[in-house]
Structure 1
Amino acid sequence: MKLREKYLADSDGAIIVKSSAWYYANNQKWYYFDRNGNPLSYKIEKIGGKEYYFNYQGEMQTGVFEAEYYDENDNWVNKKMYADVSGAIVTSAGWKLVGGTWYYVKEDGTGASNEIVEINGKRYSFDWDGKMQTGLIWQYEESGNGYYIYADASGAIASQPQWGLVDGNWYYTQADETIITDEFKEINGVFYKFDTDGVMIKGIFYDNEDKYFAQSSGAIVRNGWARDGVDWYYAGKDGKLLTSQWVGDFYFDEDGIMAVGVVETEDGAYVFDDNGRKVAEIGTTAGWQLADGTWYYYDAPGKQHNGWLNSKYYIDNGKMKTEDIVPAMGDTSREAYVGADGIIVQNGWVYERYGESWFYSENGMLVEDGWKTINGKKYYFSSIYMNRLSFREIDGKLYEFDGSGACRGEIAKKNSWYQSPDGSWYWFNED
């Protein structure tokens, strides 16, 4: 293969280099020109007793690089080599430190690259650029799959079971150099769980449908209490957190959280103190019962009342509803509202503070869908909600509403300015 000749010229086209010489270009690369002014490329050249390599662009190489050139027998050569910061090729085997990064030159004079090399009884991994790797290192397989291995700060690959810390995450290596992934592992009598990336799991986690808790050390709690924030759990002998189960006077709900306050279980409703201990059972007698600030009503021991009671209260599974929207009495297609005292609002305005919404009750039912004149003023309701918009198009007509929701009137003209009664000006187009 014959390479095209290259020369270095100034802006006027005059040849600058006319004899063998080094040249440092603006791109911060070194070049070497022979006596004929040709830049060396695809070549190893001995200069001043040292060998240097120049790539296809004529740039002198440093560090680990891929040397491509014709040897003395005109054979094409492609191999990894190493040059120090001056560009001098190093062929003596050993470690080389460049800019805080370790490289290694093998016995054959080539630089270690994209491979694992055994050095003095220990194995080290080098990336494509020849840099020694530490921490987690991905190893590709011919099948297209792969796995992680771990190298400590010295670069030595762990070849026996041991812990490794990378970016704040703990990993555990096995005797075959791989790290444990996606499995439970007993280590020195303690059980741990590692995710699909090999990270030791801490806190609440799931395995299939089972729930577990691992302490900050990663140790999975077994046969005992576990705390996550303000919530308490209890783990069985196998480490699975109990759900919908009793442990003595303590109950753990479907999420495994210890019950406090009033909680309904499959066996009934109970009151638990702040420490989770059962202190009372609800519904053991007929009638009203106050528990933890909430009223309950049972028709008979163990039989919860459902629906309206005494035409005043709405009971849902034994619990009196308060400040809530409920099915209307006598017409379940309509809705009603019960106040903080649990009594139905028969007539008047209702402010729902959670949704910051206004309703209007008439004869025990909330007004819905349409116009309603109240105390001489017109209001518009969408579903059961009073309109809170300043301007709203209804049935093809545009209306203005004041801050209380009362309609100020229809805005008849479009493509014109409009002055509101409060003095504000608005422009309305056809849309």
Structure 2
Amino acid sequence: MKKHKIAVGLALAAWMTAGISGTALAAGGWVQTDGNWKYTDSQGNYVTNRWEQSGGKYYYLGSDGNMVTNAWVDDLYYVGADGVMVTNSWLKMNTAADGKEVGWYYLTSSGKMKTDGWETINGREYAFDSDGRMRHGWYFDDEDIYYLGGEDDGAMKTGWRCLAYDEDDKPDDGDVSEQYSQAGDDARWFYFQTNGKAVHAEDGTYKRTTIDNKKYYFDEDGVMASGWVAAEDETESGDTTGISKFIYLGTENEGNMYQSTWVYLDEHPWTGDDEDEIEEGDDEDCPDEGESAWYYLENDGTPAYLPSTADSMSDATTKVGSNSYFFNEYGVMRTGLIKISVGDENLVGYFGEDSPYDSSPDSYMRTGRQTIYDDAGDRYTFYFSTSGSSKGAGYSGERDDYLYYEGCLVEAEDGQDYEAFIIDGKAYLVNESGRVQTSSKAYRCDGDYMYRISGGKLYYTDDDGEAEDEVTEGSALPEVVYHEEYDL
């Protein structure tokens, strides 16, 4: 911005003096009296209270007939030290005078002071109040928010701006905020569109906008949101905690919505500003602030989570790349041997031994035959389905000549030789290694006849090994200590 310079117009004075003569006076023109310039009309009368054009410039003659200098005329025009009407120029009032407050004013091409609105000056946009003073700092125009720089700047700002901001002491109209290169405790990011208007939401909500192909959210004050934000008003079907309202927007200097990506965070939805939007669970479900956990953010930005509507392992897990992972109802990735109860059915899955809080856990869903140690330290063999919607779920029934129940290998007790078990209403006879017996014959347990297979059915026997009653009840199925259990 270039200040209007006030200086004595020596060239004008010389021109005026050279033009004075008796003839000129009679015909009307400039005269100097007691050091003051006056203008006479064709009758020789002094002109008062009006503008006169001379040499292509305008001058104002006051009520005493003297040419006015360094003053406002009619509160809308300004004449400089040479008396010439100022046009296309900035004027700064360093002290209040002539009804004008301290500040910058702009005189347009007509000489008239710009008031109450916007003006394009040298390719930049400026706003002026009803008194003609250039606005600066924050400008709140009804629902629109602008930032206009410092007192000697005033140009409308566009694009990203990191400005001083205190949530407990928000700026008022005209306040100037210090500009920063990074957000922090005392500064926040704002985005001003090409029309100068800050992107902002209605009260209590968030406004989403795409900038350079990234999605950002802004609150009602125009502050760029960061971290965990409850951006959605309603939860998804199957969400029992409120986690589907949330998205993650990175650090206070990022702000863009994370999509289709893993994040390892020590901040959580229930520890942030929108904690009231989620129903916090116990410590096992919901890590404390400062304790890191893994989340996977889906394509729409919401965390993957366990829906209450899941009725298969496919529904209960989330596929990322070529592997599937388990997340609890709060979106936190979990590991270990997990049981999910769906009505009368149990879905058992195994997601690695590492702690879910490790920075790089081995946590993908396992399939096929696996050796697993439960939370009590006992060693088990499991089999998990390898295809279909039940992929990764513990298998129940006979598989490759071995018997499994909810994935766990079913074996006869040591020293018993054989035991009968009932799974899904069918009787099976297995040995101590879990192998299913199918040969039609009598089977001894600890030296005595106990069972006979005949016609594909399993019977108890008499002392001679002859079939008696069909087996309808079996031994207790294996009990496993799961790392976590969920009821849907």
TM-score, normalised to structure 2, is 0.38
Higher helix share: 2
Higher strand share: 1
Higher relative contact order (CA 8 A, sep 6+): 2
Larger radius of gyration: 2
